[in-house]
Structure 1
Amino acid sequence: MSILLGILLVIHMIGWAIVLGGTLTHLRPPRIATGVTHGALTALVAGILMVGVAEMGGRDLDYAWVAVKLVVGLVVTALAIFGARREEKVTTGLVGGIAGLTMLNIAVAVLWR
């Protein structure tokens, strides 16, 4: 189980790295790269799978932490999908919001104790 959790964690981190890198490199002019949507979906699915695998392995989870990360991940994914479908109306605020929420998600993962 721990090997599977490690693999899912790496996939999850790569997904968020794609989102953060894709948004920071496309702030000027503002646009949502295709990789941002794929990275957000990858990170979201890998995170959900990690929770499921951890539950199956009998690990104790902080469900408030899981809920905060899930909500932030869902918002980032929704904003990325919205921005990808409406390319002509993407603003710097939308792209910056995705980047900021991604950094918030990373901070919650690292700093929440």
Structure 2
Amino acid sequence: MDIVSGILLVIHMIGWAIVLGGALTSMREPRIAKGVTHGALTALVAGVLLVGMAEMGDGDVNHIKIAVKLVVALVITAMAFYGSKNEEKVTTGFLGGLAGLTVLNIAVAVLWR
């Protein structure tokens, strides 16, 4: 199970990297890059599967931390979908918020012990 958890973690991080990279590279011409919504969904699904794997194992799961990460991930995913459907509403501030929330989600994962 450690190998499966490791693979899911890599997929989860790649999803967030796609979201962050897509948001930052589109700042000059504000738009949602095509891969951002897919990256957000990939990270969201992989994160839920990671929590499921942790619940099945012997380790303790910090449910408050997971709830915070889930809410932030859902907001990021909703922003990515909204921006891809309403391209005229996407501004540099919108993309900055998307990138900032992505960094916040990564920081919560790494720094919250």
Give 2:6's aligned residue: 6
Give 1:74's aligned residue: 74
Task: Give 1:92 deviation, angstroms.
Answer: 1.1
- The TM-score, its normalising length taken from structure 2, stands at 0.97
Instruction: Tell me the distance in 1 between the aligned counterparts of 2:30 and 2:39.
Output: 18
Task: Give 1:93 deviation, angstroms.
Answer: 1.2
Give 1:103's aligned residue: 103
Amino acid at match of 2:22: G
Query: RMSD over aligned Cα, in angstroms?
Result: 0.7
Give 2:48's aligned residue: 48
Query: Unaligned regions of 5+ residues in structure 2, if any?
Result: none
Task: Give 1:58 deviation, angstroms.
Answer: 2.8
Moved over 4 A (4+): none
After superposition, where does 1:18-29 map in structure 2 within 5 Å?
18-29=18-29
**Count of residue pairs the alignment pairs up:** 113
